[in-house]
Amino acid sequence: MKAYKDLSKDELLTLKEALMEEYKTEEAKGLNLNMARGKPGYSQLALSMPMLDVINSESDMKTVLGNDTRNYGDLDGIGECRKLMADMMSVKKDNVVVCGNSSLNIMYDTVSRSMTHGVNGSTPWCKLDKVKFLCPVPGYDRHFKITEFFGIEMVNVPLYDDGPDMDMVEQYVNNDASVKGIWCVPKYSNPTGISYSDEVVRRFANLKPAAEDFRIYWDNAYCIHHLYENMQDEILNILEECEKAGNPNMVYIFASTSKISFPGSGVSAIATSLENIDFIESQMTIQTIGHDKINQLRHSRFFKDIDGLKAHMKLHAELLRPKFEAVLNTLDNELTGLEIGSWIKPRGGYFISFNALPGCAKNIVAKCKALGVVLTGAGATFPYGKDPEDSNIRIAPSFPTPEEMAQASKIFVLCVKLASIEKLLEDK
């Protein structure tokens, strides 16, 4: 195929006319397809329904240690669930605190606690003149919303195929004491699907922060969310690497079963150093007497162990793969050679990241919406919702059916073509 940039103005206008006819045909269908958020589909949720039968009114509600999950106690989570989450996060059980249904909630609490009470005895951030967070971009919009909510200044850091620009990270962290944290999705990153290389993880662990209260917010949300059994990304254990580097307190790891069991009723956990855990739990004892231990027991008995979790995730992969491939095949077949977009083929996670020609993302999203295909808002993958190049679009294939994804992908590439032609005509 000939690249659009090499077409003459007349050729572009002729092509636009033909695409507009196709656009009108799709508009008349009145579709209603949603690719906006990474919600598990109905068939994925159905995989966990037997969990609801694991416990009933006749069940023994005690943990393996004999603690009654119906009562108070086990602030850091029941032992068998801590072990399950620890194995999922590849850390030791003693380094894990199991919380409620949402890791986002833990992240929010961790930032909030730092604002009001500092980090392990440091000055509360609210008393400082300036607090900054580094934000690898494109990234997870809800991370950025947390730091924006607390008035923390966010600094964009380019995200490459092997992780963030570590030269830039080191320059900021090692020299600017106002930099207190960095958001990371290290495996099957949201939205690009890339995983951090061993070198990147080691450089993170060997940072020499100017601020004693600097922390890496390591959101390992997709740690066992592989799409292919024979092609799986693996990353180094950041907690172990930080310990080796003499920085045991520098990282918080977050994870949950939100996209494993039930997004609204899963379990979440934070893994970090014992010193950090002592500080966190000293405030948790005031905040709560304990999280939902019956739900923790339900998850532990249903999955049993890490092998049970992995077997369950193979079933998820079988449902997700056709949806991802419907998008990727359409992008490959329709856009290869046109030089109007680029994308990465992820091996896991929940998203496909598409980079359009600069200045086109908002137009593409708006055109798709007009045809009944809802995408994540353009700019959402950047702090403050501002993509400097108006280029990145996050595609979430999980919720629609494979047939709907094929249909939505066809509309997406149509809108990419039209928006690209309009941009090129504008620039000629």
Per-residue confidence (pLDDT) for residue 171, from 0 to 100 = 98
Per-residue confidence (pLDDT) for residue 31, from 0 to 100 = 83
Per-residue confidence (pLDDT) for residue 405, from 0 to 100 = 92
The DSSP element (H or E) to which 303 belongs, if any, is helix 293-303
Identify whether the C-beta of residue 333 lies closer than 8 Å to the C-beta of residue 412: no
Cis ω for the linkage preceding 138 (within 30 of 0): yes
For the stretch 218-275, pLDDT in tens is 999 999 999 999 999 999 999 999 999 999 999 999 999 999 999 989 999 999 999 9
151 in the Ramachandran plot: left (φ > 0), alpha (ψ -120 to 50) or beta?
Answer: left
Per-residue confidence (pLDDT) for residue 1, from 0 to 100 = 72
Contacts with 323 (C-beta within 8 Å, 6 or more apart), sequence order: 41, 397, 398, 400, 401, 402, 405
Per-residue confidence (pLDDT) for residue 120, from 0 to 100 = 96
Q: Supply 344's token pair.
A: 């990465």
Confidence band of 72 (pLDDT split at 50, 70, 90): very high
Helix H, strand E, coil C: the string for 123-183 is CCHHHCCCCEEEEEECCCHHHHHHHHHCCCEEEEEEEECCEECHHHHHHHHHHCCCEEEEE
b/e map 278-303, b = 16+ CB within 10 Å: ebbeeebeeeeebbbbebbbbbbbbb
Per-residue confidence (pLDDT) for residue 142, from 0 to 100 = 97
Per-residue confidence (pLDDT) for residue 184, from 0 to 100 = 98
Per-residue confidence (pLDDT) for residue 34, from 0 to 100 = 85
Given CATH 1.10.3860.10, say whether it is the number of domain 61-304.
no
Burial label for 251, CB within 10 Å (0-12, 13-18, 19+), is buried
Q: Supply 27's token pair.
A: 């508009």
Q: Which of 32-41, 90-99, 162-171, 274-283 has the lowest mean pLDDT?
A: 32-41
Q: Is the pLDDT of residue 293 over 80?
A: yes
Confidence band of 324 (pLDDT split at 50, 70, 90): very high
Confidence band of 427 (pLDDT split at 50, 70, 90): confident
Per-residue confidence (pLDDT) for residue 297, from 0 to 100 = 98
Mean pLDDT of 287-300: 96
In terms of CATH architecture, what is 4-44+310-427?
Alpha-Beta Complex (3.90)
What average pLDDT does the structure give for the chain? 96
Give the 3-state secondary structure of residue 295.
Answer: helix
Identify whether the C-beta of residue 180 lies closer than 8 Å to the C-beta of residue 153: no
Q: For the chain, give the percent of residues with pLDDT over 70.
A: 100
Per-residue confidence (pLDDT) for residue 428, from 0 to 100 = 72
Question: Range(s) for CATH 3.40.640.10 in the chain?
Answer: 61-304
Q: Full-prediction pTM beyond 0.85?
A: yes
For the stretch 109-135, pLDDT in tens is 999 999 999 999 999 999 999 999 999
Mean pLDDT of 290-310: 98
For the stretch 373-417, pLDDT in tens is 999 999 999 999 999 999 999 999 999 999 999 999 999 999 999
Per-residue confidence (pLDDT) for residue 30, from 0 to 100 = 85
Q: Which of 424, 416, 382 is nearest to 192 (CA)?
A: 382
Per-residue confidence (pLDDT) for residue 22, from 0 to 100 = 96
Question: Range(s) for CATH 3.90.1150.10 in the chain?
Answer: 4-44+310-427
Q: Which of 201, 197, 193 is nearest to 218 (CA)?
A: 201
Distance (Å, whole) CA 313 – CA 207: 34
| Kind of pairing between the strands at 268-271 and 96-98 | antiparallel
Give the 3-state secondary structure of residue 118.
Answer: coil
Q: Is the pLDDT of residue 175 over 80?
A: yes
For the stretch 6-36, pLDDT in tens is 999 999 999 999 999 999 999 998 888 888 8
Per-residue confidence (pLDDT) for residue 122, from 0 to 100 = 97
Q: For the chain, give the percent of residues with pLDDT over 90.
A: 96
Q: Which of 292, 127, 297, 146 is nearest to 217 (CA)?
A: 146
The DSSP element (H or E) to which 184 belongs, if any, is strand 179-184
Give the 3-state secondary structure of residue 342.
Answer: strand
Helix 402-427 to helix 9-27 angle (10° resolution) is: 150
